[in-house]
Structures are given as C-alpha cells and as structure tokens.
Amino acid sequence: MIRTERLRLLPLREDDRTSLFAIYGDPSTVRYLPEEAWTASNVDEAFGKKLRFAKRGDAFFYVVTLQGMRIGTISAWHTAMKDTWEIGFVFHKSYRHKGYATEAARAVVEDLFTRDDVHRIQACLDARNIPSARVCERIGMRLEAHFIQDYWNKEEWTDSYIYGMLEEDLIAD
C-alpha cells in the first residue's frame, strides 16, 4: 500500500471488479486507451487481464481510493529496457481535475525510485490526452517525443507522446 495526504493506493483484489467496471465501463474514460469500454459481456475477461497483470512479478497495479471510494487506478511495469519502468493511470470521470491523478502518480514514481532496479520512468500516451500529459509534466516528466500517427487504435491512426524522467527530475509538492 502507498499512502498520500488524501489517497490510499491498494493492490488490486478480486472484489474490485464492480468498482473498476464503474471506471472502465465509461467510453469517455477509455477513449485514449488501447482497450475498449468494459461491458456486461466482456467484464470478466477485461477484469481477468487486470488481475493477471497485477500478479506479474515485474508490475504493480494499484486501485486509488479516497475515503474508501475507489476512484481510479495507476499501474507500473518493467519495460524491455534495463531498469526502465512505465506508468499509466485511469480515473473515474467524477474525480478528474482535482489533483488526484497527480498525487497518485507522484507517489508511485517516488516509490519506484526507491527500488534498485529503477533508473528511468516513462509514460506513453495518446497525444490528444492533454490532462494526462499535464499530470506527467506536473510530476517532473519531460516530453521526449511526439510521434505522428504511429499508433493504430480504435479504427484510427493516433499520435503518441512519450514522457520520461530520472529521479532528479521529481518535482516536490
């Protein structure tokens, strides 16, 4: 578990399925993600993928809670590059633009940088996802690349941003 001033980041559990359905079932929430919105017919498979991901030895999947309410997720995984990790975050639409994603992302990168196998942390996102880009910038990540129409997602070519940081790039509150 990771604690911040307002949030608790808890490892994903079997009983988080309904809470995550409320987040990932909204098409506007998953608009820029490679996955489709969860539905009654795909929720078991989609949640199962999250559980399997959370159980990998080279990944973390946290459910972000605020006063016991599950408001989002943040994950981190080791990439193919030595000592490089990637992060991603998704929040329920009712809890956006309140600083929760920044607070959770900062806590996760600070926690990751305490590990011996973390030299660099990166985030790859759809370039249209300006709120996520701002979260990356607020925690000290720098925009390192803007790829033009490099990713085929949901029947269209999309641009990608790659953000990256080293430990010395962390911005304190």
Which helix (H) or strand (E) segment is 24 a member of? helix 17-24
pTM value is 0.93
In this predicted model, what pLDDT tens digit does every residue of 49-62 receive, in sequence order? Answer: 999 999 988 999 99
State residue 138's pLDDT score: 96
The whole-angstrom separation of Cα 99 and Cα 107 is 12
- Which residues make Cβ contacts (< 8 Å) with residue 96, sequence separation at least 6? 131
**Contact 48/20 with Cβ under 8 angstroms?**
no
48-75 burial, b at 16+ Cβ within 10 Å, e below that, comes to: eebeeebeeeeebbbbbbbeeebbbbbb
The whole-angstrom separation of Cα 73 and Cα 170 is 21
Amino acid at 82: K
Sign of CA dihedral 59, 116, 2, 124: negative
pLDDT along the chain (173 residues), means of 10: 97 94 96 95 95 92 96 96 96 95 97 93 98 96 98 96 93 64
State residue 172's pLDDT score: 63
Token pair, residue 99, equals 């600083």
The alpha-helical segments, DSSP class H, found in 29-172 are: 43-54, 100-112, 130-138
Q: Which of 54, 56, 74, 53 is nearest to 64 (CA)?
A: 74
State residue 173's pLDDT score: 57
State residue 57's pLDDT score: 87
* Domains along the sequence of the chain with CATH: 2-121 (3.40.630.30)
Q: Which of 114, 130, 132, 131 is nearest to 122 (CA)?
A: 132
